[in-house]
Structure 1
Amino acid sequence: MHRTYSMRASRAPTASQIQNPPPPPSSTKSGRLFGRGGFGHALRRNAAGAFGPDLAKKLAQLVKMEKNVMRSLETVAKERMEVAQQLSIWGEACDEDVSDVTDKLGVLLYEIGELEDQYVDRYDQYRITIKSIRNIEASVQPSRDRKQKITDQIAQLKYKEPNSPKIVVLEQELVRAEAESLVAEAQLSNITREKIKAAYTYQFDALREHCEKVAIIAGYGKHLLELIDDTPVTPGETRAAYDGYEASKAIIQDCEDALTNWVSQNAAVSSKLSTRARTLSTRRRNNIKARSEGHDLSGQDAPLNDRDSWVAAGEHKGEEYDDEEEEEEEEEELGSERGLNGETRGRQHETLAA
């Protein structure tokens, strides 16, 4: 009887991995202090909004919630592989056709689990990029606070000591604080736009690849099901001998080839805009382009859109905000769990001959 072999046993890079090299493993795949349950999820989500600068609290909470999503995706990937293993184990005791097909279905389901594991790594790139916006928000908060503090001091002095010489000094400090804040706010505005586009490009590209590949596997899984003879038999009647081993191997090989050769340019699903949406979107892009090219500030001494004149985020005065570096550093000190790719299947594997 034929036995299952691991799909792409050699794990050679696929076409999409060559075109877009995979990122490092997700930071959430190591040991965790609060396990997989809802308690750790709720604690991360609620604690994120309780600390750090006010400006960065909302985005800090989003980052923590995305960490919960990634933890859940990891659990799904691991349990998908375990389901594939159990299906293969159960089918081994069934009739020849059911045994062979369930064995091959286990291969496909296991592959979906591995795709979900890879998706987590790419999802982490989106989350890391969102974190960079949170960090720049945190760096801008001190300049806002300083400007507000000086404004309050001036108002208090004008009320209590209208003729105080400190007022002039504070007004000069306020001018400097407003200039510093102006630079910081411009930096925040520009970086936010740049990073939000980059972050969700990571996520949507990863989601598109994952869904397309899962759809490919689902299609070949249905082809495998056609190999099972579900014609009813009468008591005592014997079914014809199963002769689909080579066909099931060929289907698995075709699925492997389809996954290996998939690239984003050949994606089967495309998003097509209506005429109205396309017109409005084109108009918006043209307006942005016209504004960016319509002002020549080259003759001015210090143009506001000159990145070289900006103060780096880390140079703004104020406390550093490291988000307890994500308290993933508090969890991950306790050790690391076994990686998802280290799972083993339920049957003995053999490599398909070329």
Structure 2
Amino acid sequence: MPTSSHGDGAQPSPTAPVPSPSPSPSAAPAVSAVGLRKAYGDHTVLDGVDLRIPAGSVFALLGPNGAGKTTTVQILSTLVAADGGQAQVAGHDLATAGRQVRAAIGVTGQFSAVDGLITGEENMLLMADLHLIPRREGRRVAAGLLARFGLTEAAKKPASTYSGGMKRRLDIAMTLVGGPRVIFLDEPTTGLDPRSRHNMWQIIRELVTGGVTVFLTTQYLEEADELADRVAVLNDGRIAAEGTPDELKRLVPGGHVRLRFTGPDAYRGAATALPEGARDDEALTLRVPGDGSQRALRSLLDRLDTAGVEADELTVHTPDLDDVFFALTKETAR
């Protein structure tokens, strides 16, 4: 495994992740919540949030600043108490088994928990001590995680000398010392350069391949699109929508199929068969509204077949998560 003490060029692991089997819908969820509520004074942050997150998956919670994403993480990780509702994490009830919940989870917050005054290795060993891991076993676990995250060469150096990407990798490595089954990552790539962000994505994929459940909050919508099995959008204290990234994209209008033709006869035939399509007579293209689903695409192709027309090029365009985000959220007066 390559390691580096300079910059963020180290890769987390050369092993290509093997796709994990899809969790059974009937299997016990890693995280579940019903009616979570939280208010600070007269300001309601969470107003009845329901969640069900399968084990061994990545769940992304999106929302504008102040929507309650961090509060949700704090409640589910036992850092603050909910005012109402019920929740279970890793099979343990938050209200009655907080100790068991804490033993089963890891949390990486928005701000690094790394102590810059000590070395990366000492940070890891400190976490091992906090988990009451015997010294010899703690050193073995620390060395293994430092190697896994490409930090072996930098392990003896003060963490204050690490780059932003290296500190974030060390932060997550520290989170993994106790072998958590559920990890909460609160905006883990904020402030990282593109290469460091992609390295972090690879780390998250490998964690899930190993059976870990990842609860991710992020301000980068392409990050949720890239990583998440399911995405929820939090707005005004409630879940505005939840589904796979593709399902959410189909909620927003603007999707279409673009058909291009090289011959004018085929183009005119398609325009007749698909009168709802927006025409571009110069480019010989049609833009037909659609949600990008397999059913809608099959219907369109059937209509072309019936008309005896074949497109030379077909491309499907769907809204991205940015469009979904803007459609489902709004600025909230403070």
Q: TM-score range by the shorter chain?
A: under 0.3
TM-score, normalised via structure 1 length: 0.19
Which structure: greater helix fraction? 1
TM-score, normalised via structure 2 length: 0.20
Which structure: greater strand fraction? 2
Q: Which has the larger radius of gyration?
A: 1
Q: Greater RCO between the two (CA within 8 Å, min separation 6)?
A: 1
